[in-house]
A = this chain, B = another copy of it.
Amino acid sequence: MNFCSHCGQSVRLRIPQGDSLARHVCAACGTIHYQNPKIVAGCIAVHGGRVLLCRRAIAPRSGLWTIPAGFMENGETVAEAAARETREEAMAAVTVGGLYALYNLPHRNQVYMIFTGALPTPHCAAGSETLEAALVEEEEIPWDELAFRVVTKSLQRFFADRRRGRFEAYMDTLEAAPVR
């Protein structure tokens, strides 16, 4: 951030009075520009035991598989965001259930909130950011071609919970991945 989005003058990084963190503060009009984490809402959407996956058509991780997920927008609820992403990425109408997993990604300033959901019909198709959408059995999950650690972890947990017959909401933190 270089300029004030309110008045267009330069911003400086400094600690405002009464604050403890450095913020981008406008040298002209004094506006403090806070930056905060974003919510990524997603859904493990199920029909007849199969899980809805999308192969990504866009960066990052184009060509790899994910559950429907994306940035929550202003004016919606977290569950509405998860349903919207499922509709946009997989053209599927999901009935969103409970919050299943929360992942903190402090190195990315993101909080993933993943719901379970039910698909009344098996209809799905590739949205504009998706190469293909598919309902897959547990045995068919492309574990080596999943786009994000959050997807791998939440699907592993989901299937483990399903085998033991009890789903339990959980919370986890993923630190930055080791550089290879």
- A interface residues (Cβ-Cβ under 8 A, vs B): 1-11, 18, 20-21, 24, 33-39, 71-80, 88, 98-99, 102, 104, 106-107, 109, 111, 128-129, 169, 171, 173
Given A2-B5, A3-B7, A77-B173, 18 other A-B residues pairs in contact with their CB atoms under 8 A: A1-B5, A1-B6, A2-B6, A2-B8, A3-B4, A4-B5, A5-B11, A35-B74, A36-B71, A36-B73, A36-B74, A37-B74, A74-B109, A75-B107, A77-B104, A77-B106, A79-B171, A99-B102
- CB neighbours of A11 from chain B (8 A): 5
- CB neighbours of A20 from chain B (8 A): 88
Cβ-defined partner of A99 (8 Å) among B10, B73, B98, B171: B171
Min Cβ gap A79→B in Å is: 7
Cβ-defined partner of A72 (8 Å) among B4, B33, B37, B173: B37
Q: How many Å lie between the Cα of A173 and that of B99 in the bound state?
A: 14
Q: How many Å lie between the Cα of A157 and that of B129 in the bound state?
A: 41
Min Cβ gap A23→B in Å is: 10
